[in-house]
Amino acid sequence: QKEVEQNSGPLSVPEGAIASLNCTYSDRVSQSFFWYRQYSGKSPELIMSIYSNGDKEDGRFTAQLNKASQYVSLLIRDSQPSDSATYLCAAFPNILTGGGNKLTFGTGTQLKVEL
Amino acid sequence: EPEVTQTPSHQVTQMGQEVILRCVPISNHLYFYWYRQILGQKVEFLVSFYNNEISEKSEIFDDQFSVERPDGSNFTLKIRSTKLEDSAMYFCASSEKGLTAYEQYFGPGTRLTVT
């Protein structure tokens, strides 16, 4: 069974610090990974995608992927109170090998950025 | 910026009634999805739709559920006879392509309450 695991938190960081969010997955079929931000009562908002091993940076966000270790992370630099939300990790399979085309989500990590 | 829209934002219905949830995907997107999120739980895949047919569905998507693209813009989810356990947020998503890991963008959701 394909699983995406995240620590539910809450993860508390002071304003201006680096927040580090982690995600592991159990299925080697998973090919690509996405980080979504979800504010309470709102829908998931895509913030980062990563398809290959290594780092990908976009503004204050850096996604890291290590397929050998089946590990994905998201770093948020200069954390702001507005970053306080639940961060969802999602895996997408390689459908060319019969993996389907759905996103499998983790339970999310709640991030709190404190003043 | 193009976005996925959903109506209604909140639907209250009695057990056993039929409901139709509506979505307008992003106009140049080809793949459409429905997900749901029960309060406090993870986002779960229901169904994906491409080229006017279901491409994949989950175990949740039983005979009570159906999807349709009645015209060139709308994408609907019908629940024929609602149960209490169908109470959840229902999210529509769309992606430009599904054969590779293109990003899925979510609508604001419909909160379904079954009494």
Please give the residue of chain B at the shortest CA–CA distance from A110. B40
Query: How many CB atoms are closer than 10 A to CB B36?
Result: 23
Q: How far is A46 from chain B (nearest CA, A)?
A: 7
B42 contact residues in A (CB cutoff 8 A): 88, 105-108
A interface toward B at CB cutoff 8 Å?
31-32, 34, 36, 42-46, 49, 51, 88, 90, 92, 95-96, 100-108
Spatial contact of A107 and A38, defined as CB atoms under 8 Å apart: no
Cα–chain center distance at A74: 6
- Residue A3 pLDDT exceeds 90: no
Q: CA A76, CA B97: separation in Å to the nearest integer?
A: 28
Q: How far is A54 from chain B (nearest CA, A)?
A: 17
Pairing of strands A11-14, A109-114: parallel
pLDDT in tens, A33-73: 999 999 999 999 999 999 899 999 999 999 999 989 999 99
What confidence tier does A29 reach under pLDDT thresholds 50, 70, 90? low
pLDDT score of B49: 94
pLDDT score of A1: 57
Spatial contact of A37 and A44, defined as CB atoms under 8 Å apart: yes
3-state DSSP assignment of residue A79: coil
Please give the residue of chain B at the shortest CA–CA distance from A39. B108
Angle at B10 between CA A44 and CA B22, to 5 degrees: 75
Q: CA B3, CA B106: separation in Å to the nearest integer?
A: 8
- Residue A91 pLDDT exceeds 70: yes
Q: How far is B7 from chain A (nearest CA, A)?
A: 14
pLDDT score of A98: 60
pLDDT score of A27: 75
User: Which portions of chain B are predicted below pLDDT 70?
Assistant: 98-101
pLDDT in tens, A10-27: 999 999 999 999 999 987
Q: Count A/B contacts: CB-CB distance under 8 Å.
A: 57
Query: Is B48 part of the contact surface with chain A (CB cutoff 8 Å)?
Result: yes
User: Cβ of B109 and A42 within 8 Å?
Assistant: yes
3-state DSSP assignment of residue A97: helix
B7 contact residues in A (CB cutoff 8 A): none
pLDDT score of B11: 98
Q: How far is B39 from chain A (nearest CA, A)?
A: 9
Query: How many CB atoms are closer than 10 A to CB A54?
Result: 9
Spatial contact of B9 and B71, defined as CB atoms under 8 Å apart: no
- Residue A97 pLDDT exceeds 90: no
